[in-house]
């Protein structure tokens, strides 16, 4: 199968979250059209979670034109807060895993000392020799936010979702799960406060005579665009 403008990757993809929202129309509870975007919300209970292989929680996907405004709207629907800790996961040294760190840097440009949003880039254990989930927990214990927002790159099996399908969940995320890791789940039970995870697929796992992971030829530009949109949404929703 020929695919143009794709760069193959064999390994060393960094800590990526397996795609959070595996949508099934039977579990989508509400669909909306706002700001030129399609927004789908789903509440997944224990029975649905078992059927889908997902964790219990609220899920949302946003696709379309004015993503920043639509994401801000969706974030406020899922979680309210007066004081936020934003953690950008991943390894900024790997372009496909740089979404979290790039979003932290984009958000810092929007915030000042009066903005009730703190930022953290814990990187990955291979770089710091510290567990990223434990770092988030330690900072959250000190900062005492109403909400912890955690951003990470996602993995998908659908190429068209790369850089286009913005996903949110209150169910939490596990750093490194996209690369086969099994670290601590960053969720409300672990942190003792509300959690909202946000991400965009940056890697596609394709099967065409084998299994390979690929990223778009313009991955750096895609990461910058997506991180800027997420940062704008977080700032609009919680500043």
Encode 69-90: b = buried (16+ Cβ within 10 Å), e = exposed.
bbbbbbbebbbebeebbbbbbb
- CA 17 to mean position of chain CA atoms: 8
Chain segment 5-55, per-residue pLDDT in tens? 333 333 222 322 334 444 444 466 789 999 999 999 988 877 767 776 677
Q: What is the mean pLDDT of the chain?
A: 83
HSE, side-chain direction, 13 A CA sphere, residue 131: 11
HSE, side-chain direction, 13 A CA sphere, residue 27: 23
Q: What is the distance between the alpha carbons of residues 182 and 180, in angstroms, rounded to a whole number?
A: 7
- State both tokens at 49: 């979670």
Rounded to 5 degrees, φ, ψ at 140 are -65, -35
Residue 239, classed as helix, strand or coil, is coil
Chain segment 165-218, per-residue pLDDT in tens? 999 999 998 876 555 455 678 999 999 999 999 999 999 888 777 788 889 899
Q: Which residues pair with residue 185 across a beta bridge?
A: none
Q: What is the distance between the alpha carbons of residues 36 and 39, in angstroms, rounded to a whole number?
A: 10
- Kindly report the pTM of this predicted structure: 0.86
Other Cβ atoms less than 10 A from the Cβ of 190: the count is 17
Q: Are 79 and 186 in contact (CB under 8 A)?
A: no
Q: Which domains does the chain have, with CATH numbers?
A: 6-21+67-238 (3.40.50.1450)
Residue with tokens 């291979």: 126
């Amino acid at each position: 199968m020929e695919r143009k403008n794709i760069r193959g990757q064999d390994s060393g993809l960094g800590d990526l979250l397996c795609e959070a929202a595996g949508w099934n129309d039977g579990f989508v509870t509400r669909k909306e059209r706002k700001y030129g975007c399609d927004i789908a919300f789903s509440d997944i209970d224990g029975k649905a979670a078992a059927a889908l292989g997902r964790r219990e929680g609220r899920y949302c996907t946003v696709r379309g034109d004015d993503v920043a405004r639509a994401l801000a709207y969706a974030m406020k629907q899922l979680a309210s807060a007066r004081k936020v800790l934003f953690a950008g996961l991943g390894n900024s040294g790997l372009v496909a895993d740089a979404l979290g760190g790039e979003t932290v840097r984009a958000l810092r440009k929007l915030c000042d000392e009066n903005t009730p949003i703190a930022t953290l880039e814990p990187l990955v254990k291979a770089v710091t020799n510290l567990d990223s989930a434990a770092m988030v927990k330690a900072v959250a214990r000190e900062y005492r936010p109403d909400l912890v927002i955690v951003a990470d790159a996602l993995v998908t099996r659908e190429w068209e979702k790369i850089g286009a399908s913005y996903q949110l969940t209150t169910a939490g995320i596990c750093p490194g799960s996209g690369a086969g890791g099994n670290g601590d789940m960053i969720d409300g039970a672990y942190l003792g406060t509300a959690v909202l995870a946000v991400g965009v697929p940056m890697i596609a796992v394709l099967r065409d005579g084998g299994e390979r992971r690929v990223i778009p030829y313009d991955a750096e530009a895609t990461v910058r665009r997506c991180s800027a949109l997420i940062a704008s949404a977080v700032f609009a929703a919680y500043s």
